[in-house]
Structures are given as C-alpha cells and as structure tokens.
Structure 1
Amino acid sequence: MDVALVCVGDELLAGDTVNTNAAWLGERLAERGVNVERVTVVPDRVADIARTVNEYRAAYDAVVTTGGLGPTHDDLTMEGVAAAVGRTLEPSEAVLERLASEGGYAREDLAAGTADIPAGARPLHNVEGVAPGCVVENVYVLPGVPAEMKAMFEAVAGEFEGEERHVDFLVVDEPESALVDRFAELQERFDVIVGSYPGDDVRVKLQATDETELEAATEWLRANVEVA
C-alpha cells in the first residue's frame, strides 16, 4: 500500500510549528507495512490543497491530510478536498448529532461550517476536540492538533495495511564513504533494504520481509564493520 501525506498550514512553511504529525504518521504507517511515498506541505490555500490532493489521490492508494480543519478563516482543508473530489460541502447530520449528544453543543451555538464535510463523505469523529475529519474516496482528512490527529488516525489505522516488515539498526563507527562497498555486498548477499544515516556515527537501518534473512544480514554486517 502506497500513501501520500499532505500537511496543510502556513505555520508549517514559516517554521512557526514543527511538523511532528508527518513524522508520527510516517512511523505508524511504516509499522503497518505501508510505504509513505510523499510528504508534502502546502499553504492555507484552497487551490494548492485541491491540486495536490487531486494529483496524489490518483497516484497513490490513499492520501492522508492533516491540518486546516475548523470554522476559522484559514481552515480550508475541507474546501480544498471537496474541490479535489468534485463534491460540495454540506453539514454532516452524524457530526451534529454526536456533538450534541457527547459534547453538549447545541447546533445554534456552533460556528458556521464546523460540521461541514464533502457530500457523501464518511465522518470521522474528533474524540479529542470539535472539528470532524472524514474519509472521501481514498482521502483521509485528519486534524492538525497532534492529540486530535493521533486519536482520529487510530480509529482508521486498520484500513492501512501492507506487507509485514522486520527492522534492525546498527551504529557504525566508520565514515559513511568507507562503507559503500560493504553496503553493496550486503545487498547482493541478502534480500534487505539498507538505509544509511550519517552523524557523529553512521546509523544503519536494515529492513526485510523475512525475519531470518534480516537476522543473517545484521550478523554479517556486524562482523564486517566497526560497531560503535
């Protein structure tokens, strides 16, 4: 399963807010064997949101958006997603009923647009806040507030499934450039994916669908490098 993440918000582009949502979602999806193929940050503009979501929903199995939900002037994600899938926005009766029954919100007290989602979309209830998310076609629309986003994702996590992977890490006390030939030999000998991340040391990530293959690859690498 191949997925694209679209994170919405001027504050992300300006550096006012660190995009922890993308990192958390990437980790959770990878744990489920899902390939995250794109992480894109777009401004609070309907045209940018619509164009990006429309492109990615055609290219990938699913698109997950975060941010830009609510009734304020810069909460434009629902409008952008609706434009991407060619639907209008309309109040969700299911959302309004839940906000009334579980949140104690009278309809007349809610700001205009609070319960609006694309026509025919499946609402996702916000157990940590007010603004709903939704699923429309293969697009999952989640809030930007991390606690709200995480809770809402967990409600649909079972809809994201890929091939089981096994992962191991080694920290190597050698320059990355000195490891090139051994990485090449490692991948020739074993059916593994190798990631190399330099810093004070080199952090090597090994991935495989077969646990025995991963164990053998890790042991070979351990025997052929200077482990920190």
Structure 2
Amino acid sequence: MDFRYVRFYYEPSLQIDLDGTINEISQVFPNCIFEACGSFFEYRPDYQMTAERARISEIRQPFGHQSPGHQFFDLYGRSTALYDGFELQRLLAPAFPEESFIPIIFTDLLTCTFSEEDWRYHARALICGTPSVISTTGIVEAPAKPREFYLSILTQNVDSVKKKLSGRFIDYGDERMTKVAAGYVLQILFFFITNGDPFCEDISCRLHNAHWQEDLIRIQVENPAICTKHRLLANKFNHRLSTRESI
C-alpha cells in the first residue's frame, strides 16, 4: 500500500520529542508529509470511554472470556491497567473512516496481546494497522529487562535495582524514548508498504522485533540502521511517490 500522509496523535506528557522522531523518519521517507496533532482523546473525547471497553481483567483469559469489571495489575510497584491491543484498535478504527493518511496514536495505555502458546497476555509497545498504536508504557514494559533485574528484585528494592542497572533499559522519562519511538514508527510504515510484514530477521536492522531491552537500545539508539533489503524497499517506495509528483 502506498501513502503520502502520516498523522501523529500525541500527548506532550508522554515526554517524546515528536519533532525529533519525525526528523528521523523523514530521512528514510523524504517524500511523505508528517503532521503532528494533539492527543487523540482530546480530538475525539467520545472515544475515551470506548477505549475502556478494551480493558483486561484476567491476564490468563483471552478477551472473549474476560470477567466484567476493571482490574489493575502491579508492574514493579506501579498500578497499571492493561488493554487488549487489537480490541482497542478495533474500537478506535471508526474514527478513521478515510484511507487518505496513516493514523498513528501515541498513548500511555499499556497495550497487550494474547498468546495461545502460553495462554496469557503479553505487553506490547506496538500495534500495527488502522489506527496504529505506540504505547510508551509498552516501550518500557514489553521488551524484557536484563536477567540481572529479575534476579535482583527477588531480594532488593526495585528502585535500587533500577539505579544499579541504569542505562541498560528504557525507563519512564528516558530521553532515548524519542529514538526508540522513531524505530516503531518505521515498523508501522513498513507494515503498510509490505502489506503486513513490518519486521526484519536481521538483528542489526531497526525493523528487527527486539524482545530484550538491550537489543532495543542497540538497534534503535546506539546503532540505528536499516538493512539493505528494507533500504531498497524504501527507495522503491520513495521513487513511486516522486514519480507521481512529477506527473
């Protein structure tokens, strides 16, 4: 699928430099037009309660078998609500009846997807589709932290463990979140370019689906690069857009 316009819905409280993110994306897709909008739920406040219908009450039951009522889950001392990412996307989709642009919603809602392999929900930073959703809470909580973190919190205070391992994972308010967000936006755009295949098997490519925080930092912050295969796909896409402009 070809596109030219990408619209971001973003809340300043999320502490991402959206201009910085857009600048990085523009280097890969110079012929696209990126528009920064405000919070989606301020733009469409009628969807605030709609989104709550995607809440998860039981982590080991698929969405169709959730018990009524809202549940909060403890994430290392933070009381957090979980949302079924695909259900949230389905509920928000009617707000985007047109296909004239790619809508991307940044949110602090923690999106999750259910796995039938271990029959439980897992946190996700990214839900691709219309709309695409990037969860800043998911950026922190979805990729696994270093193994030392999980061993240390068995006997030590979480805050002291985070201080000891500082820099080895993305945390709340982390300035590196801007570059990581750019990587997830790239995955969204390649999702549409490839008709549903946003990830790369090359572990050095920004489109690699990193499951560990240290891998995420390596490919998105320390050495952000796109492999030859996906660079060629981007070049072909850019050429098609430029050709249409010249007609």
Structure 1-normalised TM-score? 0.35
In our comparison, the structure showing a higher alpha carbon Rg is 1
Answer 1 or 2: which has greater strand percent. Answer: 1
